[in-house]
Amino acid sequence: MAVKMDGDSSTTDASQLGMTGEYMASSHYVLHPQDDDGEENMNDHEDGGTKENYREQDIYLPIANVARIMKNAVPQTGKIAKDAKECVQECVSEFISFITSEASERCHQEKRKTINGEDILFAMSTLGFDMYVDPLKLYLQKFREAMKGEKGMPGVAVGESLGEDLTDDGFANPLPAGIITADGQQQNVMVYTTTAYPQIPTVQQIQFS
Amino acid sequence: MSQTNSGKHSQASEAKKAISLPISRVRLIMKSSPDVSSINQDALFLTTKATELFVQHLALTSFNNRSQTEANTLNYSDLAKTAEESDTFHFLTDILPKKILAQDYLKSLEQMQDEDSDF
């Protein structure tokens, strides 16, 4: 039977990644307090209570974000124990890896190098999360439309001609540039820098599969 | 049909608000999977969004299934229970072992050693 036991947090990767402790939940094992001190050596991990065997880096999403989503999901009067929050934090990384491996495999099978949206959706369907697929498609649509309006990226099939004003090196400071196209419609376009959307570190071409 | 600047603005900011998890961190986790070279923007967004749905799903399912219904608190054992009983969350069983008391563990260890009698 697998057991969770008290041990040191393995955060060697924390310093490599330069992440602070608060973002790294320790791979903690919890021993229900007994007369025995933590004399028990944690070296015999043959029970599946450890994840160090198959994951080198323990990277997690910030616990505050995770906890907030949990809090909003359960009934208002409900409470969430601290160990449950930490646990879900770990489950989340597991989920992401789970989906990613599956998507990556499909990608390789089709001799492609870049994992795209379809791969992710397919992976979810395969792994028993097909109930997420439709809502996700909807979100993606909204996201694309919103980003289209902001960036007006060349190469994105917008359906209206945006004119030649927008080039790759035209991404300076954000400025509104009203353009009146040939058929008299006014298309308002924001010339956009990546820093204005800090969450996505690099601007990647949106691939329409 | 023309849209005002503010209309596009609020759409965009809504799209941003729609994500409550740091995309860059999600990307890091994805990259830590073996053989992953690059991830396109859609894939990244979808994964981040899916992760939110996952957290909601797991939290709510576990909460509703909790063993101590009077307590109104979601705790670790509720999650472990859900992982074991649900097909969808079964992949979590490796990282959600059920906790047992140390003395029970040691007892069962002794028992196993006795049974082995290879010593």
The domain that holds B46 is classified in CATH as 1.10.20.10
Q: How far apart are CA A29 and CA A42, in angstroms?
A: 9
- A134 contacts chain B (CB < 8 A): no
Res A125 pLDDT > 90? yes
Res A167 pLDDT > 50? no
The residue that leads in pLDDT, A153 or A78, is A78
- Percent pLDDT > 70 in chain A is 44
**Is there a contact between B50 and A97 if contact means CB atoms under 8 Å apart?**
no
- DSSP symbol at A159: S
User: What domain range includes position B69?
Assistant: 19-118
Structure confidence by residue, pLDDT tens digits, A144-160: 888 777 665 544 443 33
Instruction: Count structural domains, chain B.
Output: 1
Nearest residue of B to residue A2 by CA position?
B97
Sort strands A175-180 and A186-191 into parallel, antiparallel or unpaired: antiparallel
b/e per residue A46-85 (b: at least 16 CB within 10 A): eeebbbeeebeebbbbbbebbbebbeebbeeebebbebbb
The residue that leads in pLDDT, A135 or A26, is A135
Q: How far apart are CA A73 and CA B61, in angstroms?
A: 10
* CA atoms within a 13 Å half-sphere pointing along the CA-CB vector of B2: 13
Q: How far apart are CA A3 and CA A25, in angstroms?
A: 18
* Of residues A87, A39, A94, the one with CA closest to residue A66: A87
Q: How far apart are CA A33 and CA A38, in angstroms?
A: 9
Nearest 5°: the CA angle A193, B50, B19 is: 40
pLDDT of residue B15: 57
Which of 4-63 (A) contact B at CB < 8 A? Answer: 4-5, 17, 23, 30-32, 34, 36, 40, 47-49, 51, 55-57, 59-62
- Tokens, residue A138: 């909807």
Residue B60 domain flag: yes
Residue B110 domain flag: yes
pLDDT of residue B5: 55
Report ipTM for this prediction: 0.79
Alpha helices in B1-119 (DSSP H): 5-17, 23-31, 41-64, 76-85, 102-116
Residue B14 domain flag: no
Over range A127-147, report the average pLDDT: 92
Where chain B has pLDDT below 70, the residues are 1-18, 117-119
Residue B83 domain flag: yes
CATH T-level assignment (fold) for domain A55-147: Histone, subunit A (1.10.20)
